[in-house]
Amino acid sequence: MPSLKDLRVRIDSVKSTQKITSAMKMVAAAKLRRAQETAEAARPYAARMERMLGSLASSLGGGKGAPKLLAGTGEDQTHLLVAFTANRGLCGGFNGSIVRRVREMAHQLKDDGKTVKILCVGRKGHDVLKREFPGEIVGSIEDIGKRHVEYSEAIGVSIRITELFDAKEFDVCTVVFNRFKSAMTQIVTPQQLIPFV
């Protein structure tokens, strides 16, 4: 049986752990609030950009004057899936839902006789997908957005996709990401970028 002194030490240890946990909760709440505000502030910009690109793509109609990235190659054989996941875990189903959707899409495309290539943005998606699709992974971009996603980091992803397109590595590019709805709910969204529809 533990002595009275041992019990006091144990109680003090538990109280100390409670204080640390409480402080961690406050820090996490502040980070979540900041991330939520950032996501909601970007929403109107993203919606307007999507409408503008859609309008541009429909007005050009894939004709001769259309930029290659909007019109595509005219073929539908090789598909690039770009999986946007986090660099770390402990975020519930955030990474798992994206990986699951990429897996489903890759298997469906293969069943349809298409060639699949995967570009991973974020370490967690790469760690999981490289085991199931080792030959289809064409690259991994990690450690972006540690604090905030900077333009220079986003343009790096864009340049990598454009380089693959210019090298005729794929015909169709689809990005798979979580669309923010609330702190507890994100909607897995596949969106075709090349050709833009």
Catalytic machinery residues? 91
- Beta-strand ranges (E) seen in 133-185 are 137-141, 172-180
Tokens 């502030």 -> residue: 41
Task: Answer yes or no: are the C-beta atoms of 121 and 141 closer than 8 Å.
Answer: yes
CA dist list (Å): 101 to 6, 97, 121: 52, 6, 15
Residue 13 main-chain phi, psi, to 5 deg: -65, -45
Residue 185 main-chain phi, psi, to 5 deg: -130, 125
User: Buried (b) or exposed (e) across 140-167, using 16+ Cβ within 10 A?
Assistant: bbeebeeeeeeeebeeebeebbeebbee
Cis peptide before 2 (omega within 30 of 0): no
